[in-house]
Amino acid sequence: MKRLTAALTVCGVLAVGYAGLDTADLVPGVLTTRPVPPPPPTETPGTRTLPVVPQPTPSTSIRMPLGSLAGDSAAPSPPGLRAALAGVIRMPALADASLVVRDAQSGAVLFDQGGSTTRIPASTTKLLTAAAVGQAFAPDETLTTEVRLGGRADEIVLVAGGDSLIDPGDGDPTAVAGRAGLADLADQVARALRDDGTLRVTLSVDESYAPGPPRAATWGESFQALGIVGTVAMLGLSSERAELDKAAPLDPVGSTAAAFAALLEDRGIQVTAVERPGQAPGGPGARPTPGSTGPPTGTPTPDPRVLGSIESAPVRDQLALALTDSDNTLTEILARQAAFRAAPAGESAAAGFDGVGAWIIDQVATLGIETRGATLVDASGLSRENLVTARLLTDVLVLGYDGQHPVLRTALEGMPIAGLSGTLAGRFIADGEPEAAAGRARAKTGTLTGANALAGSVVDDDGRLLVFAGLVSGAPTEPARSALDAFVSAVAACGCR
């Protein structure tokens, strides 16, 4: 018995001693006296419809997580960075390329090879669009879709308000695509109509908000059929977004109106007709000639009674989603209405794609950024007539991280993470192993035949946030992508002062 008591006493002493060591973080264990570290000082957008990729950790990446946007360490020295990049810039795929690296905190140029030469930016155009759209909307501004009473007691009007991400059913308050729900709108309208004793209605559609052509004449003829882009319209369903190899409806407004009519029918409201004032010849699905302004303005009644309304996710979160998905249609939709809102009353010059592109350049210039030589004829970057410089792209990136432009900042946080998400999920991997920038670079890709681009930010080995842009002409896509990835990884691994 004495031996048992002694053994238990020894075990207890050892347990208490080990717990003390564990608490002091001297041996492995769950106990600790360290305070919980604060979250990184970064602005977080609303939950996106796509899976939100967490910051990488040592368990998911050989590299450390993407750090804070400001560090105490010094930026690389220009000579040190030039030496680190000497081998990369001799890669054949970068023979005709513009490459720029800058310090995100000071804006200082650390490396510049042809940074002032204009080239096709492809989808990195969306960075300029985000900067322009961010000035037209308040940080938390949303888009409203509503139904009003028409000119007659039995007429209701579905008013397009710029939301192309409406869920066909119930809305999800945590989502970006699908925040507003068409079924929720139908519930409100059906209830209001029943209260008025109205059970039979004609449904009209008001498309007077931000009118314009459905597609750009400078886009490839096959782009819509391939799901690269959909019809640019101010009303649409999240379930009908264009995706690669999945074409969107040619008439998203008509499709949404038909779905809304069906939902009303399910709620006991008979819809006798769906009217589209000024619709293009050929009925629903018909497409106006590229370059036209689309359906003319409807005639809303003075001070109409609103029967129901739904709200989209904030525009800044939609911009972030557009960058995450490289969504050409969503980008064009947001840019068109931003230009429409900014135009003087009665002016429609910004309605066409080239007008919106010119407006984007003007807005970027008002931010104090040099835009000389830049030309945009669309907002998404699908046109080969777009021309910008790598230096201009880095100007926008530096501006986005200065903390003064919350809409642009949130949009930049939507850029894919190297090796983990979006259009970068399968990149920055060489021979099955992550490259140096994997997990710590965020960037917007751009790909057109013979034109490849990559622009974004990366944390180097010293923890300093740098921004970069690379525009490549003439090289095949795969070699160009590999070379741009090697360029960014060399910047990430530099830490050279």
* pLDDT tens-digit map of 229-257: 999 999 999 999 999 999 999 999 999 99
Domain count, the chain: 3
Task: Decide: pTM greater than 0.95.
Answer: no
Return d(Cα 194, Cα 410) in angstroms, integer. Answer: 42
- The alpha carbon dihedral of 147, 150, 153, 154 has a sign of negative
Neighbours of 381 (CB within 10 A): 28
Lateral strand order in the sheet of 465-473: 109-113, 97-103, 465-473, 451-459, 441-448
Question: Above 80 in pLDDT, residue 29?
Answer: no
Return d(Cα 438, Cα 488) in angstroms, integer. Answer: 10
Report the Cα 317 to chain-centroid distance in Å.
7
H or E element at residue 127: helix 125-136
CB contact at 8 A, 213 and 294? yes
> Averaged over 205-228, what is the pLDDT?
95
Whether 62 is in a domain gets the answer no
Is 254 found in the same domain as 208? yes
CATH label of the domain that carries residue 347: 3.40.710.10
Higher per-residue confidence, 326 vs 345: 326
Is 162 found in the same domain as 92? no
Amino acid type, 82? R
What per-residue confidence (pLDDT) applies to 65? 40
Q: Which domain holds residue 2?
A: 1-35
Q: What is the pLDDT of residues 42-67, one digit of tens each?
A: 333 333 333 333 434 333 333 334 44
What per-residue confidence (pLDDT) applies to 85? 96
CA distance to 98, 313, 320, 391, 413, per residue, from 404 (Å): 28, 21, 17, 20, 15
Query: DSSP character for 350?
Result: G
Is 436 found in the same domain as 348? yes
Is 480 found in the same domain as 347? yes
Q: Please list the alpha-helical segments (H only) found in 250-342.
A: 252-266, 315-325, 328-342
What per-residue confidence (pLDDT) applies to 402? 87
Is 120 found in the same domain as 20? no
> Averaged over 219-233, what is the pLDDT?
96
What per-residue confidence (pLDDT) applies to 431? 83
What per-residue confidence (pLDDT) applies to 453? 98
* Tokens 């429609």 -> residue: 348
Return d(Cα 206, Cα 204) in angstroms, integer. Answer: 7
Q: What is the pLDDT of residues 69-84, one digit of tens each?
A: 445 578 899 999 999 9
Q: Is 291 left (phi over 0), alpha (psi -120 to 50) or beta?
A: left
Rounded to the nearest 5°, which phi and psi values hold at 240?
-115, 25
Which range is least confidently modeled, 298-302, 318-322, 475-479? 298-302
Exposure on the CB side of residue 429, measured as CA atoms within 13 A: 11
Is 331 found in the same domain as 461? yes
Which range is least confidently modeled, 119-133, 137-151, 193-207, 397-411? 397-411
* Average model confidence (pLDDT) across the chain: 84
Q: Which of 295, 313, 331 is the last residue of a domain?
A: 313
Is 296 found in the same domain as 158? yes
Question: Above 80 in pLDDT, residue 23?
Answer: no
Q: Which of 278, 313, 348 is the last residue of a domain?
A: 313
What per-residue confidence (pLDDT) applies to 101? 98
CA distance to 159, 160, 163, per residue, from 235 (Å): 9, 5, 5
Is 438 found in the same domain as 359? yes
Both tokens of 469, joined, read 């842009």
